[in-house]
Structure 1
């Protein structure tokens, strides 16, 4: 065989080998559609809404205290304006490195009720960790104190004085004093203070253990509302909560629509407008501090678009690693009516081993306000206090709070709900009871 024949044979073999590998490469690789849908699937959020901590962790009510009287309003325009403005302030602790000043109960109450200066007060539904406050505000000092604040007080200074902001823990009798050297802060606080004539007169009602609750002197009138709701589809929850919905199988039974990927389970109860997602975690789970719970809780809801309505932080339960958010209209909580049950109004999360363990929430969202009725007149705070004093079955020492809320009720097979204002009593164990005007209380109440 001559040299030219060898070259031709070798070339032919190389061409055949090249064709063989090319054929294998084209025929053995997965299709683009399969590659896209299976290997790189990402969960799809329920909606685009994301919230920052200060939008969810908000005061419930604003009070103005003068040396002679107390004032407040359920119109949240001033509360929202002040809370937003405070995010831009820089809080100075000065030379006080041991920032938390601990008081005796007598001195603490004297400071709270001091008539030496006027104050504006912001109250929360539950204590907010110091670390969370620091993440929302600009602090000039790094601190390691573990304190939960449930109130903020602002003095009403003269023009040339620094604005004082006090972060207060009524549970631990601790106060953190900060200064804001910003003329606009003084002016903003003074402007709100000077609006007190537009507010309602309040008084302090004290429980048997000295828990001070602010109540209105006179009757309160609030509109009731009717809303059209929108049911969030099962597929949207499935695509948002499972990491790979392609592995999820559906099992429709009598009471719920059940979805599972063999580990996690999603149950949607159409008749109760309830979603329950269970993710089994290790039983030996570490206890996270409240600020870490809050951080991962808000991130979790942001990641899957869970903010389908306005929600307000309701409470943090460190021992059970649980956080709850309550639906709100303005700053007024929306609670479930047991008399005409439609569905839940709270988002509840329980965490374990840094993973969501149990997640419960409404399967609906409020869409369009259809109508509002004539104002409903609620009994005054004085009458509320009289009813509670006369009712010996209520342990006053176990009352955590008393406030006005909206009851959400309606027929479960309809898309319409009604929101009706009502007095609510919150006990220290989390029980919620409705106060039925002059007719006393309803033990079933609100929950």
Structure 2
């Protein structure tokens, strides 16, 4: 009897042990060592928080006075001006199709030009729209035109579609805003612009020579592991490989993050998140901004550069001293589906308080640039889409230095090219 009792107890123990082992096998997960043990939602790159209305700005405000054209001598003044006028209430907002040929830009008193066509659906996230229950159209605009109405002392505002087939109009009714805009239209306080009208569209650039500072700044690295925690759904299963040709690669079965250019550039790809269908522009903006805000990823001064809903592509351009910066280390670029598919960004931030040297560079006048472009047979003028002053960012990885070289740049086809009438041009940055 005692023997039977012992057998029963042993059998019960074996069954219990078997159940425990089976349960453990069902719930077992490989315990890869995490590359960074901090939870993803705690990761921060210590950048700023941005919004649609802080990331979208015109790259130019042009004042037309008779047959002459003027602009701000410093892009920071243009930015401050826009931050002021975007909050002027727009009343009586209406949209309409138009078959009438658009007025010449010089028929308006002032125009704002944005760096990329903007869908009207984001317009009320940038400007103050006083008209309620408005169905915003689906077309895009790139310029906004302002006209002073002397009799009523109001300001007419017009958004023209990029194909010229539709427009939206509104009125700024406050007299003090009329007077303030009128006060800006004064040649004494502005810089005269030269017109280049042989490209894809009319382009206005500073007429006279411009002097900008060439600066060398120190930079602080951004740790790739911080981005691993942000970009991979489960950082604990991420593996790492290193090669002399490809740099460092962090990867899972479905995603990879490559660190190249001596640790200065990051390229993330997650092919499993294929693009299902184009996103609305506002959804694309909100997804992208919220994502970068979630880890304080705006580590330098960035502005919207391009948005293409056909490919769910969006990019932001670095600015330095309020001027646009060009080169492979100057942009944040993303492609979205239901989640992030591709992401490229620099892995350093500029140390604004530390610079090693500075000297002033005098650049060619706008008139000289126009002469150079029109007399050089290497350029097909209809392919010139924009001309800007800005900085070329040259990064020295071994010394962790960023050199900002002032230059003229042209958008030739889909490529930004640094030009100098006396030097060989350099192809800096391709389009998407």
> TM-score band (shorter)?
0.7 to 0.9
2:158 maps to 1:169: no
**How far is the alpha carbon of 1:78 from its aligned partner?**
3.0
**How far is the alpha carbon of 1:120 from its aligned partner?**
2.1
Decide which moves more: 167-176 or 287-296: 167-176
Distance 1:345 1:215, change over 3 A: same
**How far is the alpha carbon of 1:158 from its aligned partner?**
4.0
Structure 1 CA distance, aligned partners of 2:284 and 2:183?
36
Structure 2 CA distance, aligned partners of 1:39 and 1:236?
9
Structure 1 CA distance, aligned partners of 2:224 and 2:405?
29
Q: Name 2:303's counterpart in structure 1.
A: 312
Contact 1:61–1:331 (Cα < 8 Å) also in 2 = no
Residue by residue over 1:371-396, the C-alpha shift from the partner in whole angstroms, topping out at 9 and shown as x without a partner, is 56342111112111112112223221
Q: Name 1:356's counterpart in structure 2.
A: 340
Counterpart secondary structure, 2:396: coil
2:424 maps to 1:431: no
Structure 1 CA distance, aligned partners of 2:38 and 2:211?
58
Counterpart secondary structure, 1:375: strand
**How far is the alpha carbon of 1:58 from its aligned partner?**
0.8
Where in structure 1 are there 5+ consecutive unaligned residues?
1-27, 29-36, 337-342
Distance 1:273 1:53, change over 3 A: same
Structure 1 CA distance, aligned partners of 2:322 and 2:151?
30
Counterpart secondary structure, 2:81: helix
TM-score, with structure 2 as normaliser: 0.83
Counterparts of residues 257-276 of structure 1 (less than 5 Å): 257-269=248-260, 271=262, 273-276=264-267
Q: Name 1:112's counterpart in structure 2.
A: 105
Counterpart secondary structure, 2:351: strand
Structure 2 CA distance, aligned partners of 1:135 and 1:93?
17
Structure 2 CA distance, aligned partners of 1:38 and 1:57?
36
Q: Name 1:76's counterpart in structure 2.
A: 75
Contact 1:388–1:394 (Cα < 8 Å) also in 2 = yes
2:128 maps to 1:143: no
2:369 maps to 1:384: yes
Among 96, 114, 130, the alignment partner of 1:124 is 114
Distance 1:399 1:171, change over 3 A: farther
Q: Which has the higher strand share?
A: 2
**How far is the alpha carbon of 1:347 from its aligned partner?**
0.7
Residue by residue over 1:94-131, the C-alpha shift from the partner in whole angstroms, topping out at 9 and shown as x without a partner, is 5x4xx144354xx31x34232xx6x1221111111111
Contact 1:410–1:416 (Cα < 8 Å) also in 2 = yes
Distance 1:238 1:159, change over 3 A: farther
**How far is the alpha carbon of 1:143 from its aligned partner?**
2.1
Decide which moves more: 311-320 or 160-169: 160-169
Among 342, 360, 366, the alignment partner of 2:350 is 366
2:319 maps to 1:328: yes
CA RMSD of aligned residues (A): 2.7
2:329 maps to 1:344: yes
Among 350, 355, 380, the alignment partner of 1:395 is 380
Distance 1:90 1:199, change over 3 A: closer
Residue by residue over 1:267-312, the C-alpha shift from the partner in whole angstroms, topping out at 9 and shown as x without a partner, is 2225161111112235462112333222222222112322111111
**How far is the alpha carbon of 1:82 from its aligned partner?**
2.4
Q: Name 2:229's counterpart in structure 1.
A: 239
2:212 maps to 1:225: no
Counterpart secondary structure, 2:373: helix
Contact 2:250–2:257 (Cα < 8 Å) also in 1 = yes
Distance 1:144 1:176, change over 3 A: closer
Distance 1:376 1:176, change over 3 A: same
Q: Name 2:173's counterpart in structure 1.
A: 181
Q: Name 1:287's counterpart in structure 2.
A: 278
Q: Name 1:63's counterpart in structure 2.
A: 62
2:268 maps to 1:277: yes
Q: Name 2:238's counterpart in structure 1.
A: 248
**How far is the alpha carbon of 1:71 from its aligned partner?**
0.9
Distance 1:277 1:159, change over 3 A: farther
Q: Name 1:213's counterpart in structure 2.
A: 203
**How far is the alpha carbon of 1:157 from its aligned partner?**
4.4
Residue by residue over 1:151-204, the C-alpha shift from the partner in whole angstroms, topping out at 9 and shown as x without a partner, is 12222444952222222334435432211222332233223223x313221122
Where in structure 2 are there 5+ consecutive unaligned residues?
1-23, 25-35
Distance 1:411 1:46, change over 3 A: closer
Structure 2 CA distance, aligned partners of 1:313 and 1:38?
33
**How far is the alpha carbon of 1:137 from its aligned partner?**
2.5
Q: Name 1:340's counterpart in structure 2.
A: none
